[in-house]
Homo-oligomer: A and B are copies of this chain.
Amino acid sequence: MIVYERPVRFEEVDAARIVFFGRYLYYAHEAMEHFFAGLDGGYPRLITERGVGLPAVDVRSEFSAPLRYGDRLRIETTTAKLGNRSAVLRYRMRAEASGQVCATVLHTVVATDLAAMRSIDMPSDVRAIFEAHLE
């Protein structure tokens, strides 16, 4: 499990005064970038130099409690499944103060050659990080 924390920002709430539901996928991606911080050059080098990415093919989100401005978010990231070319990340998002789970996101990604937009075998350094955090 890799933990990532960050505050809810001023502009991340909507007209109902709670964090906009689409925003949680941005949080998930931030947590994923953090999850891969151990790659040489991090996730950015994977994308910009190696031309490999992890586009989403399926995302399931459950929302159980609202987050508000002033809350601090704690995201626990694990690998729920790992295949040859795909993996499922699970993000458990909590309000840091109370520990309450506000959202859970299951994010299925496929290792992809970004130039050809074709799936490829998961690169071994990426796979190693997924494996290290298998549930």
* Chain B residues, Cβ within 8 Å of A18: 55
Are A21 and B25 in contact, CB atoms less than 8 angstroms apart?
yes
Q: How far is the CB of A31 from chain B (nearest CB, A)?
A: 11
Contact of A59 among B15, B61, B70 (CB under 8 A): B61
* Distance in angstroms between the alpha carbons of A62 and B55 in the assembled complex: 11
Q: How far is the CB of A119 from chain B (nearest CB, A)?
A: 13
Copies of this chain present in the complex amount to 4
Interface size class of A (residues with CB under 8 A): 35 or more
Q: Does A114 reach chain B (CB closer than 8 Å)? A: yes
* Chain B residues, Cβ within 8 Å of A24: 22
A–B Cβ pairs within 8 angstroms, 7 of them: A10-B29, A15-B17, A22-B25, A22-B29, A55-B63, A57-B63, A57-B64
- Using a CB–CB cutoff of 8 Å, the interface residues on chain A facing chain B are 7, 9-11, 13-18, 20-26, 28-30, 33, 41-45, 47-48, 53, 55-64, 66, 68-70, 114, 117
